[in-house]
Amino acid sequence: MDKTKLLIITHEMSPFLEISKISEITRQLPQAMQDKGFEIRILMPKFGNINERRNRLHEVIRLSGMNIIIDDNDNPLIIKVASIPAARMQVYFLDNEEYFQRKFVFRDAAGSFYGDNDERTIFFCKGALETVKKLGWAPDIIHCHGWMSALVPAYVKTTYKNDPTFKNSRVVYSIYENCFDEKLNSSLSKKAVMSNMTDADTKVFENAGCDDLHKGAVTYADAVVIGDEKVSEDVLKFVKDSNKPTLAHNLTADFENFYNFYEELSSEELVSVA
Q: What is the pTM of this model?
A: 0.94
pLDDT digits (tens, 9 = 90+) for 19-45: 999 999 999 999 999 999 999 999 999
pLDDT at 65: 87
Query: Domain of 202?
Result: 5-266
**Which residues are CB-contacts of 134 (< 8 A; sequence separation ≥ 6)?**
62, 63, 66
Question: Torsion angle, CA of 150/8/24/46, rounded to 10 degrees?
Answer: -80
Q: Is 274 inside a domain boundary?
A: no
Task: Give the HSE-up count for residue 7: Cα atoms under 13 Å, Cβ half-sphere.
Answer: 30
pLDDT at 1: 61
Asked if residue 166 has pLDDT above 50, the reply is yes
- Count the domains in the chain: 1
Q: Is 77 inside a domain boundary?
A: yes
pLDDT at 85: 72
Q: Is 273 inside a domain boundary?
A: no
CA distance readout (Å), 13 to 77, 91, 121: 20, 9, 17
Q: Is 64 inside a domain boundary?
A: yes
pLDDT digits (tens, 9 = 90+) for 33-81: 999 999 999 999 999 999 989 889 999 999 988 999 998 889 999 999 9
- Distance from CA of residue 43 to its chain's centroid? 8
pLDDT digits (tens, 9 = 90+) for 181-221: 899 998 999 999 998 898 999 999 999 999 999 999 999 99
Taking residue 272's Cβ as centre, other Cβ atoms within 10 Å add up to 14
User: Strand, coil or helix: what is 42?
Assistant: strand
Q: What is the CATH number of the domain that holds 106?
A: 3.40.50.2000
Asked if residue 273 has pLDDT above 60, the reply is no
Asked if residue 272 has pLDDT above 50, the reply is no
Residue 252 sits at φ, ψ, to 5 deg, of -80, -15
